[in-house]
Amino acid sequence: MNIERMRPDDQERVIAAGDLFDYPPRSDAVIRFLADPNHHLLIAYSGDIPAGFVSGVEVTHPDKGTEMFLYELAVGEAHRRQGIGTALVEALRDLAREQGCYGMWVLTDDDNAAAGATYRKAGGEVESQPLMFSWRFVA
């Protein structure tokens, strides 16, 4: 397994990993995401096959500094239970440190046992049981 950080010129590679995402990647969104230096996408490869990804966003607040928000983690069904998810989380954690972030965080559902196990294995600690509120805007 090899983990690679996607750069602005890696649009085609992200599109090729489309099966890992919830929905097919949109070219305009891929371009915008990869162009932002505060957005990070790491893809794990098994040989030449995309096996998983993790995305993170650096978030800065005036009184706290910058932290990494682990936005999404996915591992293809055929590649699960091989340590790929943990390796991706650890790679994003290491990148967050390199970027000068003071910490990293993620939200997950209480009933998502696989995610909880992965985040614990990668050194994450349960901090709270938050409520999540969202606002949806129709495009």
Domain count, the chain: 1
- Report pTM: 0.88
Spatial separation of the C-alpha atoms in residues 68 and 85, rounded to whole Å: 17
Domain that holds residue 64: 2-121
Asked whether residue 130 is assigned to any structural domain, the reply reads no
Asked whether residue 20 is assigned to any structural domain, the reply reads yes
Spatial separation of the C-alpha atoms in residues 66 and 118, rounded to whole Å: 24
- Residue 68 contacts residue 99 (beta carbons within 8 Å): yes
Asked whether residue 58 is assigned to any structural domain, the reply reads yes
Spatial separation of the C-alpha atoms in residues 11 and 74, rounded to whole Å: 18
- Residue 101 contacts residue 58 (beta carbons within 8 Å): yes
Q: What's the confidence (pLDDT) of residue 131?
A: 66
- Pick the more confident residue, 42 or 112: 42
Beta-carbon count within 10 A of 96 CB:
21
Q: What value does the mean pLDDT of the chain take?
A: 91
Q: What is the CATH number of the domain that holds 73?
A: 3.40.630.30
Q: How confident is the model at residue 111 (pLDDT cuts 50, 70, 90)?
A: confident
Is pLDDT at 121 greater than 90 in this prediction? no
Question: In this structure, what token pair is assigned to residue 62?
Answer: 């005036």
